[in-house]
Structure formats: C-alpha cells, structure tokens
C-alpha cells in the first residue's frame, strides 16, 4: 500500500457486495426497539449511553448465525422489559460458492429469538452462509501485552494476540506485513517500522522504530499508535465476506491521523470489496472524511424508542450540505431531530 493521498475514493456499490443491509432489534440490551440500515462503510454517532455498543454487539449476536451463543438472548433482555427478545437481520449480495448447490444472489433474512426452553433459535434464509463477523473493543494493555505465539495468531476482541498475528503474517504473507507497516507509517508520522521480538521477561511482543529510536516495546507507545496497528491489522486480516465492528475506532488519534485511517480503510476495501466496516465514534473529524449517507445518528427518545437515522435524512440537509462536511453537520444538527423525523414517517391515522 503506497503512502499517497487518496481523494476520498468511492468503494463499490452496496448492490455488488455480500454484507448486512439492515437490522431490527426488540427488547435487546439498551433497546426496546430499533431499526437501522448500513453501507459498506458506516460510522455511528450518538450521545453517551445512546446504545452504540449495544448496536454493534447485537449485529455480532445475530449476524454470526450461531444458535449456541455463549450468552443466551434471555440474559441480554432490555432492562424492565418482559417481552420477547428478537433480533432480525437482512443481508444482500451473493452467498455460497458460485455454481454450487447453495449459491444465491439477492436479499436474505433471518431472525434470532429464544425458544420455549430459553435456548437461541434461528428462523429464515440460509443461516449458515453469512459473512465472518468480528467485534473489536480495543484495549491498549491487551495490545501491548507479550504473547505466547503457540496459542494461535487470532487477534482477540480487545486486541490481544496482535504480536502473534505479526509473527504468523511475517511467516505466511510478507506482502501483507509490508502493507501494515506502510499503512501505520501513513497514519502515525514518525513511525519507521513495526515488527516483533522476544521481550526480556518472556513472550513475544511488538517492537517499534520511532524517529530513529529502534526496538521500542509496545508499552512505550501511545494508545493511538497501538490502536492504529490493531485496526489496520484486523482490516488486512479479513478474508472473504467479512463484517468488522469497531467500538470507538478513532480512540487516541489526532484529527489528521483519523483522516488517514479512513483513507487506509477505504483503500483496503477497494481491494477487498467483500469487506464491510461498521464503527462507532465521537469524532467530528473522522466523520468529515465520510459521505453523509455513511453516517448514522443514534438517539434515544423519552418513550424508550431508539432512532437510527442517516445524516442526510435531516430536514435541513439539502440547505447546508454544500457548506459543511458531515462532521460539522453532526455538530450543528445534534441528535434530537431523529425523533421528529421518525414521527413524520409514521402513517397518519
């Protein structure tokens, strides 16, 4: 991946891809009810406690197509609710091997609910052909912790195991490792190299070269740098139809670095059009690199309903769209308008 400027490249259209199109959750975690739609690259914003993490975890829960999740749905019921927990999901695109017996093109949907005995059950179309889904809530302590490489090379939910992934990638795909190094240098100026080595107290950890100083251990680096390596590694590691869910994707990053990170993700999606990225953020700077239809505004109404609307659904969007970027529009519009838009969409009595 060359370290050159990208003029907000367009990814492939959503109709060409196999990825999640929409969800509807009822009585799940923070939500009494929510509907949301998604693009190949979608970023969700909203106030604290509006349900951003619950949205990502719900996507992970339903889109894995797993009937035997580690936590049954009844354990994740919305507080105070006695109704049925229900997670519905719609995908679009092509699933299965071309010309194979399970190949299908178009939309397909399924629903996950508890059965009479409290176990999870699936109803719908082809629940065993969905993309790989990964939720990541990165923690700097986990990323910087030395790794036992004999325990596998999977990047964990919190970013643990990243050093083992580097070791494995260096042995299997040197080009991918070079892409990671180039991308990290692009996002974090001053980084000369990212590699790995045996730490004095045991285990393999990441080593950085920074502004001419070599062999700096991961615990000497900033949170933003560690998060950058983990995000880019996860994106590059995606294989086949994949959905990556990032909580607080911009954590610890300078506004310029946020812009470069978005450009890197778009560049990877250009070469991996089957990769879908859904993330949360609190940063208007990161939103400034998106298209308005890629931004989702999350807001909880007093009646318990949670609305998730596209930024370009704001009533005054057409008036201001050419004067402000999406981050500025979000700062200007806020979130409360979503309830009024939802009410206007309801059919009149």
Q: Which of 153, 104, 98, 101 is nearest to 130 (CA)?
A: 104
**What pLDDT is recorded for position 83?**
77
Predicted confidence (pLDDT) per residue in 303-320, tens digit? 778 999 999 999 999 999
What values do phi and psi take at 14, rounded to 5? Answer: -65, -25
**What pLDDT is recorded for position 163?**
94
Predicted confidence (pLDDT) per residue in 39-94, tens digit? 999 999 999 989 999 999 999 888 775 544 545 666 777 777 777 888 888 888 76
Q: Can you tell me the mean pLDDT for 182-188? A: 96
Q: Can you tell me the mean pLDDT for 258-286? A: 96
Q: Which of 241, 305, 310 is nearest to 37 (CA)?
A: 310
**What pLDDT is recorded for position 102?**
63
Work out whether strand 275-280 and strand 41-46 pair parallel, antiparallel, or are unpaired: parallel
Based on its alpha-carbon atoms, the radius of gyration of the chain, rounded to whole angstroms, reads 21
**What pLDDT is recorded for position 8?**
38
- The residue among 75 and 116 whose pLDDT is bigger is 75
pLDDT class for 292, splitting at 50, 70, 90?
A: very high
- Strand pairing partners for 286? none
In the predicted structure, residue 176 carries a pLDDT above the cut 50: yes
For the chain, the distance separating the N- and C-terminal CA atoms, rounded to the nearest angstrom, is 56
pTM score of the predicted model:
0.88
Spatial distance between the Cα atoms of 272 and 242, rounded to a whole number of angstroms: 9
The CATH code belonging to domain 14-131+240-345 is: 3.40.50.300
Other Cβ atoms closer than 10 A to 188: 23
Spatial distance between the Cα atoms of 252 and 145, rounded to a whole number of angstroms: 18
Lowest mean pLDDT among 178-187, 238-247, 337-346: 337-346
Q: How far does CA 264 lie from the centroid of its chain?
A: 14
Percent of the chain surpassing pLDDT 70? 84
Q: Largest alpha-carbon pair distance within the chain?
A: 72
Dihedral sign, Cα of residue 165, residue 143, residue 54, residue 71: positive
* Per-domain boundaries in the chain: 14-131+240-345, 140-222
**What pLDDT is recorded for position 12?**
39
Spatial distance between the Cα atoms of 252 and 157, rounded to a whole number of angstroms: 18
**What pLDDT is recorded for position 235?**
97
């Amino acid at each position: 991946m060359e370290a050159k400027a990208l003029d907000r490249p367009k990814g492939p259209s959503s109709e060409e891809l196999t990825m999640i199109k929409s969800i509807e959750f009822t009585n799940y975690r923070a939500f009494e009810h929510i509907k949301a739609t998604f693009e190949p690259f979608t970023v969700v914003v909203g106030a604290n406690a509006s349900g951003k993490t619950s949205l990502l975890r719900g996507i992970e829960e339903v889109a894995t197509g797993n009937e035997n999740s580690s936590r049954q749905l009844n354990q994740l019921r919305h507080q105070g609710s006695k109704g049925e927990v229900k997670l519905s999901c719609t995908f679009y695109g092509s699933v299965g091997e071309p010309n194979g017996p399970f190949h299908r093109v178009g939309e397909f949907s399924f629903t996950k609910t508890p059965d009479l005995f409290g176990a999870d059950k699936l109803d719908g179309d082809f629940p065993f052909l969905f993309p790989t889904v990964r939720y990541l809530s990165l923690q700097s302590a986990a990323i910087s912790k030395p790794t036992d490489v004999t325990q596998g090379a999977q990047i964990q939910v919190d970013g643990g195991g990243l050093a083992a992934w580097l070791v494995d990638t260096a042995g299997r795909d040197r080009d991918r490792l070079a892409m990671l190094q180039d991308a990290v240098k692009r996002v974090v100026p001053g980084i000369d190299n990212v590699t790995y080595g045996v730490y004095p107290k045991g285990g393999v950890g990441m080593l950085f070269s920074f502004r001419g100083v070599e062999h700096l251990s991961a615990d000497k680096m900033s949170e933003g740098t560690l998060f950058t390596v983990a995000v880019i590694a996860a994106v590059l590691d995606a294989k086949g139809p994949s959905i990556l869910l990032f909580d607080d994707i911009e954590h610890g990053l300078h506004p310029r670095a946020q812009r470069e990170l978005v450009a890197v993700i778009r560049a990877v999606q250009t070469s991996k059009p089957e990769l879908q990225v859904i993330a949360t953020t609190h940063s208007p700077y990161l939103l400034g690199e998106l298209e308005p239809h890629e931004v989702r505004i999350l807001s909880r109404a007093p009646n318990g309903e949670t609305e998730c609307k596209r930024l370009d659904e704001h009533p005054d969007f057409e008036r201001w769209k050419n004067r402000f970027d999406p981050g500025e529009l979000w700062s200007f519009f806020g979130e409360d308008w979503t309830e009024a838009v939802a009410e206007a969409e309801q059919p009149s009595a």
